[in-house]
Amino acid sequence: MKTKIKFLLTAMVIILAFGAMSCSNNSKKPSETHDHQHETAQYTCSMHPEVVMDEPGNCPKCGMELIVKKTDEPKEQSNAEDIKKVKFKVDGSCDMCESRIEIALNNSDGVYIANWDINTKMVEVSFVESKTNMHDIQLAVALAGYDTELHKASNEAYSKLPDCCRYVRTL
C-alpha cells in the first residue's frame, strides 16, 4: 500500500513539474511580447477630457468608451518647411465641441496641434505635410460628428453627439 502511495505522489509531482514548465515556456522572448505602448498609454473620454485612466474601459461619467490619450511628449521631429499651418471652418456649439474637435485632430497622425475657436468656428491646425493632408484632417473631424468645408459628418456620427453639441446643420 505504501508503495502505491509513493508511486502516485511521485507521478503527481512529475506531472505538476511538467505542467509548470510548459506554462512558463514561451517561444518568444519577453522583450518580444512586451507591449511598451500599452505600458505608458493613458485613456480619456472625448466628452470629459478631465477623466484619465491607465486602462481601457468606459467613462464613469457618461459610459462612453475611452480613447487613447496622446502624451505631451513631442511628436517625431520634422523639418520646419514640412510643417504646414491651416485654418478651416468646423461647425460646433459649445466647450465640449471644442474638446471633442481638438481631441479628434490631435489624435490624428501627422497633426502637431489643433485649436478650435468657439466664437469664429475656425480651427487652426499645424501638421506635417509628408504625413497627412487636408482631406484626412477634415475627415477625422467629420468622423467625430462635425461638419467641415470638405466633409459633412454622417447622420450616424452627428446623432452620437451629446445634446449640447448638436449644432444647427446647414444643407
Higher pLDDT, 69 or 134: 134
pLDDT tens digits for range 60-95: 877 888 787 765 444 445 555 588 999 999 999 999
Q: What is the pLDDT of residue 29?
A: 42
Q: How far apart are CA 119 and CA 50, in angstroms?
A: 23
Q: How far apart are CA 138 and CA 104, in angstroms?
A: 10
What's the predicted TM-score (pTM) here? 0.57
Q: What is the mean pLDDT of the chain?
A: 79
Cα 141 from chain centre: 14
Average pLDDT over residues 17-36: 46
Q: How far apart are CA 157 and CA 7, in angstroms?
A: 67
Name the band, by pLDDT with cuts 50, 70 and 90, for residue 140.
very high
pLDDT tens digits for range 8-25: 566 566 765 555 555 444
- The DSSP line for 82-102 is GEEEEEEEB---SHHHHHHHH
pLDDT tens digits for range 87-96: 999 999 999 9
Task: Calculate what percentage of the chain has a pLDDT beyond 70.
Answer: 67
Q: What is the dihedral of CA 106, 109, 111, 112, to 10 degrees?
A: 80
HSE-CB of 106 using CA atoms within 13 angstroms? 20
How distant, in Å, are the alpha carbons of 35, 87, 89, 125, 140 from that of 110? 23, 16, 20, 10, 12
Task: Calculate what percentage of the chain has a pLDDT beyond 90.
Answer: 49
Least confident interval from 14-18, 98-102, 127-131, 152-156? 14-18
Q: Provide the 8-state DSSP code for 169.
A: P
Higher pLDDT, 24 or 2: 2
